[in-house]
């Protein structure tokens, strides 16, 4: 009890918040063009007449905001998926939800050729919807194929997800190969997870999903606690297991799809973040899920900063940086879970 | 039909293609402790799970207070009936009190008044199971016997009139077995709880039940009071054993003090080819 007290939780949340603020400040001030602290503050509070307005408001800030949102979405979705599937190795990427959403978006790009770079509102708002359709189709398929003896089999859940995910990725690749060269380039960069195209419209297009789905997930957090027991215990407590699983799965799929539509397929956030959160704050989802949101935000902002600057002026995909951290961590988890 | 607290009608249940029992009619006596005995695979656990809607029946009905179980919301059922599965598992980091509090789930979200009722129920459940002294400890640090009492406390915190216990004493040492069964008895006496449990130890069944139900190959082959059931004839029919039974001189409860195989006898006589 003392190990995971309320005070400790508040302390961890405040520390994470502090780190996020620091990461945002660093991302705002460092880059191809460095700004001083005074310049950053002045620009942020000068309401549109500072020297560096364009740099900050058009380039750096929207990208940080998107990175933050994507981190929140993927971190929380990962925690929910691990809870629902009772499998610590579940992750939107591994479960094929990214790939499904990605496929739908690639299809959308394919039929909406040449208009990707533009900032036309229809395509920007439509992308999360297409992502959602693809993501939902993927998660429903995975869910249905994982039923065994009238219950969700967590081993099957993971394996079906991996298999379907590879299938969707292959289809996406096939379609991107048929695109014209400019679209192809955009699509490939996007498919490894990049925030290169970040802009304010993207943030606005995914914000409604967050505002709608995150409260439902926070409200259902105590159900995720119960899911840590065996299915027969959970049923005996009067939880409609199937229904709650579907609701939580749909919520996390919605979040993931919205993220994928603006950032492409960034993997491993949903895997690393919940484990980190659990080791910091314990297994109570009422605390763990908000912490996942904070840690996800921090991870993606930092990763995106590294991706932008490590080989500047050349840029590598944010997803690549996270994978570089995520793969060894994943292997570490595999080994630890065996022990 | 008699007004029964929990009753099955032409019940059929099983796993995938395999049917464990069919056309099973069984009625639980209100306010009594009923114990189901029988050899492994006879369908005792399956019956318990189907009555507790953990397992969906293939055909037939289960009636809870004469209402079809399938027509009731699972949360409403959880206020009237709870099932403690065999060897339940939970996260090691969870504290005793937290796990017991999970038992309040079916009663949650009913306003401020219920918060007090919730806490009262949790305290009572930990008190009666004697788990209150280690309420802050984590599940992972408990012994098997302590853990089983905590799970029982969680089920009790649900404050249901009916308790279904699937082998509540398995893997426990004899002191903890006794302790668990005494708690069950106390619940029945003080709160008039209706209890249906599966036990392997027929002497425990004899000592702690009002009624014993014997199952074999998916059928109820006999039922009655311990005195009627724990006899060489019934035990021979149910388990194919040659049991030696006497009455405990202190309270008249039948005790099976030894048993042997029937087959060996047959073989020595000559048996069938």
Predicted confidence (pLDDT) per residue in B85-99, tens digit = 998 989 988 999 999
Confidence of residue B176 (pLDDT cuts 50, 70, 90): very high
Flag if B78 and A237 touch (Cβ within 8 Å): yes
Rounded to whole angstroms, how far apart are CA atoms B6 and B30?
8
pLDDT at B266 over 90: no
Please name which of A12, A23, A33 lies closest in space to residue A299, comparing C-alpha atoms: A23
Residue B269: its pLDDT value, please? 53
Answer yes or no: do B102 and A225 touch at CB < 8 A: yes
Mean pLDDT over residues A84-107, rounded? 86
Residue B273: per-residue pLDDT:
42
> CA A69 to CA A13: how far, in whole Å?
17
Q: Does pLDDT of A3 surpass 60?
A: no
Rounded to the nearest 10°, the torsion over CA A324, A329, A330, A334 is 150
Q: Whole-model pTM?
A: 0.87
User: CA–CA separation, B159 vs B82, rounded Å?
Assistant: 9
Cα B78 to Cα B216: distance, rounded to the nearest angstrom: 29
Number of residue pairs across A and B with CB atoms under 8 Å? 67
How many CB atoms are closer than 10 A to CB B218?
20
* Cβ contact, residue pair A233, B90, below 8 Å: yes
Q: What is the pLDDT of residues A37-55, one digit of tens each?
A: 777 777 777 665 667 777 7
Tally: H helices and E strands in chain B: 10, 12
pLDDT at B127 (0 to 100): 94
> For B103-113, what is the mean pLDDT?
78
Residue B190 near residue B154, CB atoms below 8 Å? no
Residues of chain B with pLDDT > 70, as a percent, come to: 93
- Is residue B1 one of the residues assigned to a domain? no
For residue range B63-81, what is the model confidence (pLDDT) as tens digits? 999 999 999 999 999 999 9
pLDDT at A2: 45
User: Strand B194-198 to strand B33-37: parallel, antiparallel, or no bridges (unpaired)?
Assistant: parallel
Distance CA A323, CA A331 (A): 12
What integer is the mean pLDDT of A144-161?
80
| A190-214 per-position pLDDT tens digit | 777 777 777 788 888 889 889 999 9
pLDDT in tens, B133-155: 999 999 999 999 999 999 999 99
Contact, B134 vs B153, CB < 8 A? no
More confident residue, A279 or A214: A214
Asked if the C-beta of B134 comes within 8 angstroms of chain A's C-beta atoms, the answer is: no
Determine contact: B135 vs chain A, CB below 8 A: no
Contact across the interface for A240 and B75, Cβ inside 8 Å: yes
Average pLDDT, whole number, for chain B? 91
Supply φ then ψ for residue B27, to 5 degrees: -130, 130
Which of B13-17, B103-107, B214-218, B255-259 shows the lowest per-residue confidence on average (mean pLDDT)? B13-17
Give residue A190's pLDDT: 72
How confident is the model over A10-18, as a mean pLDDT?
Answer: 94
Contact B37/A at CB under 8 A: no
Q: Looking at this predicted complex, what is its ipTM?
A: 0.89
Q: Look at B185 and A186; give whichever has higher pLDDT.
A: B185
Give the total number of structural domains in chain B: 1
B187 domain residue, yes or no:
yes
Out of A225, A238, A283, closest to residue B78 by CB: A238
Residue with tokens 């040492």: B173
More confident call, A84 vs A155: A84
* B119 pLDDT tier (thresholds 50, 70, 90): very high
CATH number for the domain spanning B243: value is 3.40.50.300
CB contact under 8 A, A237 and B76: no
User: Structure tokens of B23?
Assistant: 């056309």
Strand, coil or helix: B202? helix
Contact assignment for A235 to B74 by CB distance below 8 Å: yes
Tell whether B80 lies on the interface with A, counting CB pairs under 8 A.
no
Q: What is the pLDDT of residue A7?
A: 87
Q: How many of the other CB atoms lie within 10 Å of CB of A262?
A: 25
Output the pLDDT for position A331: 85
Domain coverage including residue B221: 6-269
Chain A residue numbers touching B168 (CB-CB < 8 A): none
Written as six digits, the tokens of B15 are: 């796993």
Give the whole-angstrom CA distance, residue A49 versus residue A193. 34
Q: Of B177 and A36, which is predicted with more confidence?
A: B177
Say what the pLDDT of residue A58 is.
77
Q: Is the separation of the CB atoms in A228 and B139 below 8 Å?
A: no
Domain A6-84+92-338: CATH superfamily is ABC transporter involved in vitamin B12 uptake, BtuC (1.10.3470.10)
B213 sits in which H/E element: strand B211-216
Rounded mean pLDDT, A71-79: 95
């Amino acid at each position: 009890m003392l190990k995971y007290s309320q005070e400790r939780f508040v302390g961890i949340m405040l520390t994470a918040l502090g780190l996020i603020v620091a990461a945002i400040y660093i991302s705002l001030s460092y880059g191809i063009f460095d700004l001083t602290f005074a310049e950053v503050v002045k620009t942020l509070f000068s309401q549109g007449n500072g020297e560096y307005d364009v740099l900050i408001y058009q380039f750096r800030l929207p990208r940080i905001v998107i990175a933050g949102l994507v981190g929140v979405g993927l971190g929380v979705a990962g925690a929910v998926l691990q809870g629902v599937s009772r499998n610590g190795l579940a992750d939107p990427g591994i479960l094929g939800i990214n790939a499904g959403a990605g496929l739908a978006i690639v299809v959308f790009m394919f039929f909406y050729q040449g208009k990707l770079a533009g900032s036309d509102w229809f395509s920007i708002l439509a992308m999360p919807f297409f992502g959602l359709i693809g993501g939902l189709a993927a998660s429903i398929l995975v869910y249905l194929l994982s039923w065994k003896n009238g219950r969700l089999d967590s081993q099957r859940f993971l394996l079906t997800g991996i298999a379907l995910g590879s299938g969707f990725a292959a289809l996406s690749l096939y379609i991107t190969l048929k695109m014209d060269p400019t679209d192809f380039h955009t699509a490939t960069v996007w498919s490894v997870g990049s925030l290169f195209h970040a802009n304010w419209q993207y943030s606005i297009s995914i914000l409604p999903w967050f505002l709608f789905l995150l409260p439902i997930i926070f409200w259902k957090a105590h159900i995720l606690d119960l899911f840590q027991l065996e299915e027969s215990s959970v049923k005996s407590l009067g939880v409609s297991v199937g229904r709650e699983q579907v609701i939580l799965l749909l919520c996390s799929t919605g979040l993931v799809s919205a993220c994928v539509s603006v950032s492409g397929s960034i993997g491993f956030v949903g895997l690393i973040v919940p484990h980190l959160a659990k080791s910091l704050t314990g297994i109570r989802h009422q605390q763990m899920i908000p912490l996942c949101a904070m840690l996800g935000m921090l991870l993606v902002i930092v990763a995106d900063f590294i991706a932008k600057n490590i080989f500047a002026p050349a840029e590598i995909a944010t997803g690549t940086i996270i994978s570089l951290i995520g793969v060894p961590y994943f292997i570490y988890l595999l080994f630890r879970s065996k022990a | 039909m008699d007004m029964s607290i929990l009753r099955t009608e032409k019940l059929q249940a099983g796993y995938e293609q395999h049917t464990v029992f069919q056309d099973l009619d069984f009625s639980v006596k209100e306010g009594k402790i009923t114990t189901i005995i029988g050899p492994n695979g006879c369908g005792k656990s399956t019956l318990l799970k189907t009555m507790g809607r953990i397992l969906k029946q293939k055909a037939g009905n289960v009636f809870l207070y004469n209402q079809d179980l399938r027509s009731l919301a699972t949360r409403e059922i959880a206020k009237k009936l709870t099932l403690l599965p065999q060897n339940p598992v939970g996260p090691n980091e969870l504290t005793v009190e937290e796990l017991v509090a999970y038992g309040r789930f079916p009663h949650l979200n009913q306003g401020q008044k219920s918060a007090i009722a919730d806490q009262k129920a949790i305290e009572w459940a930990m008190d009666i199971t004697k788990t209150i002294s280690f309420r802050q400890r984590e599940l992972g640090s408990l012994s098997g016997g302590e853990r089983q009492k905590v799970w029982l406390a969680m089920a009790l915190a649900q404050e249901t009139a009916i308790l279904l216990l699937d082998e509540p004493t398995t893997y426990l040492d004899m002191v903890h077995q006794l302790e668990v069964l005494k708690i069950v008895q106390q619940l029945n006496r003080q709160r008039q709880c209706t209890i249906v449990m599966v036990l392997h130890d027929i002497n425990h069944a004899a000592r702690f039940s009002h009624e014993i139900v014997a199952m074999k190959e998916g059928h109820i082959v006999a039922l009655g009071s311990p005195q009627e059931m724990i006899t060489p004839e019934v035990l021979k029919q149910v388990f194919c054993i040659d049991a030696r039974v006497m009455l405990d001189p202190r309270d008249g409860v039948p005790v099976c003090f030894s048993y042997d195989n029937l087959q060996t006898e047959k073989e020595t006589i000559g048996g069938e080819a």
